[in-house]
Amino acid sequence: MPSRNEKNTKIATPLSFDRPVRKAKPSREEKAQQTYLNLMHAAADIVGEYGYAATTIAKITEAAGVAHGTFYNYFKDRQGLFDVLLPFVGLQMTDQITADLVEAGTGIDRDIARFRAYCDYLRETPGFYRVLYEAEVFAPKAHDEHIRRLSDGYIRALKRAMASNDIREMPDAELEATVAIMLGARGYVAMLYKEQGTIPESAIQAYGRLMQSGLFR
């Protein structure tokens, strides 16, 4: 028989319930950033499918899942969005290409890999063609900014190739013109095969042979 003291003793049993983890509510700035991204992605999809002329604020806000008036918290008007759309999409493109080049090697191998990554991006994101090529008419500021950013990035890449002795030395003016030629070659190859939805490996290899005979050592 337990003693009186033992009988009245309460044994505390530890509870092992897992407390639910409370997710922190997004801040006002985070919500605003997400809304901006939703608008940009919606605009990219609509312009990519229907073109700039047929893209309306109503279509964009409906696709983004926000009220019509919310648009004006971020952009003055439709043109204001168009003026930043291509640089936004172009940055996504170059980020994807950069990620694909992690193990791409150097010299001509890296340049061919860069072009192949561009072709892969176009296959996966066919709307990019329209966002890019119509921008020259409907969003010239965005088009100029996109081309300049691409050119500057490519110039830096070729300067690294020169430092590694992968290509011959050339002055800045010639280097800038060379980059324009290379980007132009890629752009026209992409346009040639855009109706097929993919750029064949033979076209990529043809580009590589041209670059190797004219630029890379």
Q: Is residue 29 part of a domain?
A: no
168, pLDDT greater than 90: no
> Quick one: average pLDDT of 17-21?
55
Per-residue model confidence as pLDDT tens digits over 48-61:
999 999 999 999 99
* Distance, CA of 40 to CA of 73 (rounded, Å): 13
- The pLDDT assigned to 177 comes to 95
Q: Is residue 149 part of a domain?
A: yes
What is the number of other CB atoms lying within 10 angstroms of the CB of residue 60?
Answer: 25
145, pLDDT greater than 70: yes
Q: Is residue 195 part of a domain?
A: yes
Residue 129: both structure tokens together: 């063609």
**CATH code for position 151:** 1.10.357
pLDDT tier at 140, thresholds 50, 70, 90: very high
* Distance, CA of 173 to CA of 86 (rounded, Å): 26
- The pLDDT assigned to 163 comes to 92
* Distance, CA of 201 to CA of 120 (rounded, Å): 11
The total of structural domains in the chain comes to: 1
Question: Across the chain, what does the average pLDDT equal?
Answer: 87
Q: Is residue 117 part of a domain?
A: yes
What is the number of other CB atoms lying within 10 angstroms of the CB of residue 103?
Answer: 6
pLDDT tier at 70, thresholds 50, 70, 90: very high
Query: Which residue blocks in the chain are alpha helix, DSSP H?
Result: 4-7, 28-50, 57-64, 78-100, 107-124, 128-133, 135-138, 140-163, 172-193, 201-214
At 125, is the secondary structure helix, strand, or coil? coil
pLDDT tier at 105, thresholds 50, 70, 90: confident
Yes or no: say if 130 and 47 are a contact pair by the CB < 8 Å rule. Answer: yes
Half-sphere exposure of 182 (CA within 13 A, CB side): 28
Q: Is residue 169 part of a domain?
A: yes
Nearest to 79 by CA among 50, 46, 56: 56
pTM of the model: 0.80
Q: Is residue 183 part of a domain?
A: yes
Q: Is residue 49 part of a domain?
A: no
- The pLDDT assigned to 1 comes to 46
At 5, is the secondary structure helix, strand, or coil? helix
> Quick one: average pLDDT of 105-119?
88
- The pLDDT assigned to 171 comes to 94
14, pLDDT greater than 50: no
152, pLDDT greater than 70: yes
> Quick one: average pLDDT of 129-143?
95
Q: Is residue 129 part of a domain?
A: yes
- The pLDDT assigned to 28 comes to 85
Buried b (16+ CB within 10 A) or exposed e, 178-203: bbeebeeebeebbeeebeeeebeeeb
- Please enumerate in sequence order all residues whose Cβ is within 8 A of that of 29, keeping only pairs 6 or more positions apart, or say none: none
Domain that holds residue 195: 78-214
